[in-house]
Amino acid sequence: MTSTLLSLASQHSLGFVATALVICVVAGWLLSVLIAQSECAAPPSRRWWLGSIAVVAGLGVWTTHFIAMLGYRTDIILSYGVLGTAWSAMLGILAVGLPLTLSALVRSRALAVTFGAAAGLGVGAMHYTGMKAIDGCLQVYSPAASLAACLVGASALALARGLRLASRSNLATSALFTLGVCGAHFTAISGTSFVQLPGFESGKSDTITLSIFTAAGAIVIFLGAFLTVLAAKRFEAQERAHSTILSTALHNMSNGLLFIDAHRKVGLYNDRYLEMFGLLPEQITRTMPFEALLRLVCAIQGWADGQRVAIAHGIGEGVSPGAGTRGDWPMPDGRILDIEVRPVPGGGAVLTFDDVTSDRTAQDRIAHLAFHDSLTGLANRHALSLRMAEAVEPGVRFSLLLLDLDRFKSVNDSHGHGVGDLLLVEVASRIRAVAGSEAFCARMGGDEIALIVPCDLDAATALAEAIVGALAEPFLIEDIRISIGCSIGLCGSHDACDPVEMMKRADIALYEAKRNGRGRVSRYRAGMLEAAASRQTLEADLERALERAEFHLAYQPFLSLPDDRIIGFEALIRWEHPTRGLVPPPAFIPLSEETGQIVLIGKWVLETACREAATWAVHRHVAVNVSPVQLRSPLFLSHVTNALAQSGLAPSRLEIELTETAMVEDGTEVARVLRDLRTLGVKIAMDDFGTGYSSLAHLRDFPLDRIKIDRSFVMAAATDRHCMAVLTAITQMGKMLEIPTLAEGVETDEELALLRSLGCDAVQGYLIGRPGRLCAGVDDPWRHVAGAA
């Protein structure tokens, strides 16, 4: 071995050998850079990089060979043929450059190594083709040296491609390329001998031509190396800039990102992904198997095996060619992640992770609010309509309950809407507790609540009465004890053909429950709808009755028993309807109170009564009934004062009659109004005493000028000892309190005699006189009554 190297050294010019080595090293480095650029280049520009690989590899081998041959000193002068030399250069590109180009195209390491070995054999083929270009001598080759040369070239270039794929090292590729080319050349030269052929002499021109060829090849390689260095630096700068931009964008994404390559290994990830799953940077690396990463995440997040298998399956489908997958994945910690798996060309998939917990919570909240009341949590009117539409089917029986709270407005007025809202929440809770899970509860708005229950009217009525009882129990809201109640209207599915009609009928039943005294249950009955329609028509007519002057007053006299004279009259309103005829007061007074029209009607009564009473004898007064609605009106006092002022009637001749019920509904406010009336000089009478909320405290707390005893006691006193006892007690109590008493409903002489004997101060009734009109300047139509008495 040593003798061989000494022999080669003695036969070669070291300057040329060094030059050949430099050129080979440069060609190897340039080849490594070109392969790297071809692997990351876009398809349009990639073919230029691949073409450059073939040219640089072929010319690098060819130039190295012939520069080394120029430095080879033999006993004879070698001459080179132009065509043979040129053909060897072409063969170098085809036999060496082409396999190396193909090795840059394949992803398989085995194929790349195979193509590298083929290129190494091409080095040997190019060497012996170049040797054939020598003219005028006979060449003798050693088979062993030739085989060794080919093996050296094939091994070195195969190893160069294998290491390139593993380490991406330009230095290793350049060194192995140089070893393969130079090793093959000098190994082959060591087994070659030349014999001068007779009659052939070479000239200097052949050597000069070869030198020009090799110099041109060296220039091409070095120029390529220079240009490649510049291009590589430019590309490297661009890549660094792009990498910085991409890295900044990648790691500042709001979504987590993970790239899994075709081999199911981690290719890319960002900081947001690590943050989402609690991973530390040192726990994850590129080329990490996805299954290992998944096991790590499952261990950190505490996922069960079932979740891990489901996620692995979903991502496996995404990595496979197809449209990808996307869906929400609930996390054990309560988060909801939107995970999208999108396949990429060439295999692999990009996984994006978006924390949509707040979005999904907001969407659920919006969906909940679309069908639920935000205060009570009950369903809302829209949800009720949908539920009723679903429930109304042939053969399906259910009942609709409409509930309205009693005295809820006074709670808001007295304690504020905040307390009212808390009360509604408690009301909804009690209703749910009584109705159970089968009932569908909805808040219609305000204090109106509807229930759909899957049962017949009898069972629904029992449930409604249970709810009335539950809501009658006092509530404790912010240390305030509140007592309310409710009224409920019912309608069964058999009473209506559609939800609208069913709601209308239940509403009519509710109105009936409230009209009959509240705190009760009313079932829809046949005819209620027609009655409601008639009531609406009557309401519309009532609104126009004042404009059309359809009202008039009738007067019923009061008889003073001590002196048997008429001391005053009670003004009673009458409505002469153009088509209905005379409409009795019980048919329209409650309706006017419900609609609020009683305020204007009451104003007209006061003005008319005062105006007509002003024409009577000065010892007679007029009594006017006043509704609780009028008392609550802030205009009431002004109506009284204006009526007195316009008519000129003395205030002491006007008597306001109030029922006990009107007095106790808002005792404090009523007491204030009554005091103001007494200050004006107007007298106050308590009507129908003995009924309703009768209490001796009312005689103490309210300023009264007269007590009117209800006719029910007068009619039954002769036959009912209890009524007689009450009648006697009221009369005596009035004397002791110095409040005059007046008995209503006197119709017989016996009743009149009894009241005289008891010491009653005045009487009123059909015996004394029926209600009728009075005309100014006409004799008193009741004077005969006083005389007879």
State mean pLDDT over 460-488.
Answer: 91
What percentage of the chain has pLDDT greater than the value 90? Answer: 23
Burial of 220: CB neighbours in 10 Å, binned 0-12, 13-18, 19+:
middle
211 is written with which tokens? Answer: 């030198």
- Average of per-residue pLDDT across 263-269: 82
Output the pLDDT for position 209. 52
pLDDT at 198 over 70: no
Q: What is the pLDDT of residue 244?
A: 67
DSSP conformation letters of 567-636: EEEEEEEEEEETTTEEEPHHHHHHHHHHHTTHHHHHHHHHHHHHHHHTTS-TT-EEEEE--HHHHHSTTH
User: How many CA atoms within 13 Å lie on the side-chain side of 735?
Assistant: 10
CA dihedral sign, ordered 711, 717, 722, 724:
positive
Contact 311, 341 (CB under 8 A): no
- C-alpha span between 265 and 261 (Å, rounded): 5
Which pLDDT score is estimated for 783? 47
**pLDDT given at position 561:** 95
Phi and psi at residue 659, in whole multiples of 5°?
-85, 160
Name the residue type at position 332. Answer: P
In DSSP terms, which residues pair with 706 in a beta bridge?
A: 685
pLDDT average, residue stretch 645-668: 84
DSSP H/E element including 657: strand 654-659
Name residues whose C-beta falls within 8 Å of residue 382's C-beta, 6 or more positions apart in sequence: 370, 371
Running DSSP on this structure, what letter comes out for residue 265? B
Residue 591 confidence class, pLDDT cut points 50, 70, 90: confident
Mean pLDDT value across residues 193-198: 70
Is the pLDDT assigned to residue 220 strictly greater than 70? no
* Per-residue pLDDT at 749: 93
**CATH number for the domain whose boundaries are 545-788:** 3.20.20.450
pTM: 0.50
Residue-wise pLDDT for 14-58, tens only, equals 777 787 788 888 878 877 777 777 776 666 667 777 777 788 777
| Residue 228: pLDDT over 60 | no
Please tell me the predicted confidence (pLDDT) of residue 203.
47
Query: Of the ranges 112-126, 353-367, 677-691, which is most confident?
Result: 677-691
For the 372-526 domain, the top CATH level (class) is alpha beta
* Cβ(71)–Cβ(17) below 8 Å: yes
Could you tell me which residues come within 8 angstroms of residue 408 by beta carbon, excluding any fewer than 6 positions away? Answer: 420, 423, 446, 447, 484
Judge whether 173 and 164 are in contact, CB under 8 Å.
yes
**pLDDT, tens digit, 9 for 90 and up, residues 172-182:** 777 877 787 88
For residues 187 and 127, give the distance between their C-alpha atoms in angstroms, rounded to a whole number.
11
Q: Considering only CA atoms, which of 234, 279, 282 is closest in space to residue 258?
A: 279
What's the gap between Cα 301 and its chain centre? 27
Residue 16: both structure tokens together: 């040329």
Look at residue 555 and tell me whether its pLDDT is greater than 90.
yes
Say what the pLDDT of residue 479 is. 86
User: pLDDT class for 786, splitting at 50, 70, 90?
Assistant: very low
In this predicted structure, what is the pLDDT of residue 201? 54
Pair of tokens at residue 148: 């060794």
What does the mean pLDDT of the chain come to? 80
Q: Which residue has the tokens 């390491």?
A: 109
Picking from 239-253, 284-298, 424-438, which range would have the lowest pLDDT averaged per residue?
239-253
pLDDT score, position 777: 40
Q: What is the pLDDT of residue 317?
A: 58
> 3-class secondary structure for 365-407?
HHHHHHHECCCCCCECHHHHHHHHHHHCCCCCCCEEEEEEEEC
| pLDDT computed for residue 562 by the predictor | 93
Residues 137, 194: contact at Cβ < 8 Å?
yes
Residue 205 has pLDDT above 70, yes or no: no
Over 50: is that where the pLDDT of 787 sits? no
Q: Spell out a b/e string for 24-34, using b for 16 or more CB atoms within 10 Å of the CB, else e.
A: bbbbbbbbbbb
Distance in angstroms (rounded) separating the CA atoms of residues 43 and 334: 46
Give the Cα separation of 87 and 492 in Å (integer): 106
Higher-pLDDT residue of 80, 583: 583
**R_g of the chain computed on alpha carbons:** 58
pLDDT score recorded for residue 78 = 66
Q: 56-70, 309-323, 545-559: which range is least confident on average?
A: 309-323
Interval 682-721: pLDDT, tens: 999 988 776 655 556 666 667 789 999 989 899 988 888 8
Length reported for the chain: 789
- 299 band by pLDDT with thresholds 50, 70 and 90: confident
The pair of structure tokens assigned to 203 is 């000239």
Separation CA 162–CA 112 (nearest Å): 7
| Contact predicate 539/591, CB 8 Å | yes
Residue-wise pLDDT tens digits, 397-444: 888 999 999 888 888 888 888 999 999 999 999 999 999 888 999 998
Q: How confident is the model at residue 342 (pLDDT cuts 50, 70, 90)?
A: confident
CA angle 139, 140, 141 (to 5 degrees): 120
Q: To the nearest 10°, the Cα dihedral for 31, 36, 40, 43?
A: 20
Residue 401 and residue 487 in contact, taking contact as beta carbons nearer than 8 Å: no
pLDDT for position 229: 52
Q: Between 145 and 785, whose confidence is greater?
A: 145
CA distance 758 to 735: 11
Helix or strand or coil: residue 291?
helix
pLDDT over 70 percentage in the chain: 81
pLDDT attached to residue 789: 37
* Inter-residue contact 707 to 741 (CB < 8 Å): yes
Query: Among all chains, which residue has been given the structure tokens 């070869």?
Result: 210
CATH number of 256-359: 3.30.450.20
Q: What residue spans define the domains of the chain?
A: 2-233, 256-359, 372-526, 545-788
Name beta bridge partners: 584: none
Q: In 436-527, which residue ranges form alpha helices assigned H by DSSP?
A: 457-472, 499-515
**Mean per-residue pLDDT, 120-143:** 78
Q: Are strands 79-80 and 654-659 parallel, antiparallel or unpaired?
A: unpaired
